[in-house]
A and B are shown apart, each in its own frame.
Chain A
Amino acid sequence: MDRLMGVTMALATEVYVLRDRLRALEALLAQQGAVDLQSLNQEVAPDALALHQSDRDAFVAHVLSPLLGKASSLGVQP
């Protein structure tokens, strides 16, 4: 459990570093007029979300499939 917590916290730290960098990039782009932050921060409409549903489902499956405990290849039979 200690080791898994270590992995989780390391990943969380990296996610936060990425969040910080993304925020900084958005601020710079907004300053230069390249993005409209107000538009970017709007809630995505359901029909627009639906366009990305298959990508969402593939992402979820990629992250959660290990929980199913299914082997992806045949192991050596004893």
Chain B
Amino acid sequence: MSTVNARAFSAAQDFLLGAKKFWTTQMYPQLQEQERAQASGAKVPVQERVQSNDLYPFYAWMERHLQRMKYAGRYGLVPWHDTQRPALEVALAPIDVPTVPHFAVPAYYPSFDVHQHPGGLMGDSLAGFVYERGARSTTPLDKHFDLHHRFTRQVGALTTPRRILDVGCGFGKSTRPFAQQFAQAEVTATDLSMPCLKLARHLDAQENITHVRYLQADACATGLNAGGYDLVTSTMLLHELPASHLADLFVQAHHLLEPGGWTVHLDFLPQVQPGADGFSHFIHAGHAVRNNEPFMQTLAAFDVRGHLQSLGFTDISITPFAENDQALDPHYPYWRFPWAVVQARKAL
């Protein structure tokens, strides 16, 4: 039996969060500052310059291993939640989430431990709880959940949807803001992970949200009715998909939308960020490797606009997204995800 008590667990996680904050606000800015000082007139490629910087091995180690320690090891999220298993499983036991007909888990999905989460998001009945707890400290400077409301408000400035589909909804952190802002809308949310879907329902009940229909379904082949939605959205899903699935997702969105409906996605696109350069691309590519995100670079290289155009979407825009009021200042000094919004409309 573990000798780690709740106080020790929370103290260790808090220390790791403090270390991540140091990495975000001290290590990254110094690495960037030193790179900028070296870059002017340099003939050596950016990756070679950065890799030869004395700070870089520590920067990379911290990024990789703070995440490892957050999830695994003595004070990790996975072993801690395992000690709470009986109570957590009881909480989810009465919850039933339907699975769409002909559902199949894509082969890529369980083939790696995304975000360094041992077992991934469907390897254990408690995976949703682990993911939810981990998401609370994804970014040490911002309340990570605030950005979902920012995104929802941005969508609200574009359209007032009546039938919303949120694909890749996880434990519902993107879905609840839609359900709250568009309280009159029918909201359907899908994910591959049943543990996450059950937790989504559980958390909805705690917030008195009763009108979201959760379904276990593949976002790229939902089996839902054609033309049944006027908004198909996702948050942090695109970068989790192999190229063929990414292409299929937009095909699926077009299929599910009624004419004039919008598809809007919040994700990571380094190339549209203010001040994007070789350094920011190198840092983003390194993050993908160190955080077990094998398809993050797939998205970065994917011709999203061209694919949307080929499907007949109109009003296409791909713009950077500000997760806080200062984030899009080209001189913003701290590490951040390259948040971007992809939006397009199905032709009338």
For B18, give its contact among A56, A67, A68 (CB under 8 Å). Answer: A56
Task: Name the residue in A40, A61, A65 with the highest tally of chain B Cβ atoms < 10 Å from its Cβ.
Answer: A61
A65–B27 alpha-carbon span in the complex (Å): 9
B22 to A44, Cβ gap below 8 A? no
Q: Which chain A positions have C-beta within 8 A of B334?
A: none
Binary per-residue interface labels of chain A (39-57) against chain B in the complex, 1 for a CB within 8 Å, 0 otherwise? 0111110000100010011
Chain B residues numbered 151-207 whose CB sits less than 8 Å from any CB in chain A: none
For A68, give its contact among B10, B14, B19, B55 (CB under 8 Å). Answer: B55
B19 to A64, Cβ gap below 8 A? yes
Size range of the chain B interface in the assembly: 20 to 34
Q: Which chain A positions have C-beta within 8 A of B5?
A: 41
> What is the distance, in angstroms, from A61's C-beta to the closest C-beta of chain B?
6
Q: Which chain B positions have C-beta within 8 A of A49?
A: 10, 14
B15 to A67, Cβ gap below 8 A? no
B18 to A57, Cβ gap below 8 A? yes
Known A-B contacts A56-B15, A67-B58; the reply to A61 vs B22 at CB < 8 A is yes
A5–B21 alpha-carbon span in the complex (Å): 27
Q: Which chain A positions have C-beta within 8 A of B8?
A: 41
Q: Which chain A positions have C-beta within 8 A of B54?
A: 69
Chain A residues numbered 24-78 whose CB sits less than 8 Å from any CB in chain B: 40-44, 49, 53, 56-57, 59-61, 64-65, 67-70
B30 to A60, Cβ gap below 8 A? no
A22–B15 alpha-carbon span in the complex (Å): 20
CB of B7 within 8 Å of the partner chain: yes
Chain B residues numbered 8-31 whose CB sits less than 8 Å from any CB in chain A: 8-11, 14-15, 18-19, 21-22, 26-27, 30
Task: Name the residue in A40, A44, A67 with the highest tally of chain B Cβ atoms < 10 Å from its Cβ.
Answer: A67
> What is the distance, in angstroms, from A8's C-beta to the closest C-beta of chain B?
14
Size range of the chain A interface in the assembly: 10 to 19
A56 to B9, Cβ gap below 8 A? no
B7 to A59, Cβ gap below 8 A? no
Known A-B contacts A67-B58, A68-B55; the reply to A44 vs B18 at CB < 8 A is no
Q: Which chain A positions have C-beta within 8 A of B62?
A: 67
A68–B62 alpha-carbon span in the complex (Å): 12
B7 to A68, Cβ gap below 8 A? no
CB of B87 within 8 Å of the partner chain: no
For B21, give its contact among A41, A60, A69, A70 (CB under 8 Å). Answer: A60
Known A-B contacts A61-B26, A69-B54; the reply to A40 vs B18 at CB < 8 A is no
Q: Which chain B positions have C-beta within 8 A of A64?
A: 19, 22, 26-27
Q: Which chain A positions have C-beta within 8 A of B10?
A: 43-44, 49
Chain A: which residue is nearest B30 at the CB level? Answer: A68
A43 to B7, Cβ gap below 8 A? yes
Cβ-closest 8 pairs across A and B:
A43-B6, A41-B5, A60-B18, A56-B18, A67-B58, A43-B10, A60-B22, A44-B10
Q: List 18 A-B contacts (CB under 8 A).
A: A40-B7, A41-B5, A43-B7, A44-B7, A53-B18, A56-B15, A57-B21, A60-B15, A60-B18, A60-B21, A60-B22, A61-B26, A64-B19, A64-B27, A65-B26, A67-B58, A68-B27, A68-B55
| Given A43-B9, A69-B55, 8 further pairs, Cβ under 8 A | A41-B5, A42-B7, A44-B14, A64-B19, A67-B62, A68-B26, A68-B55, A69-B54
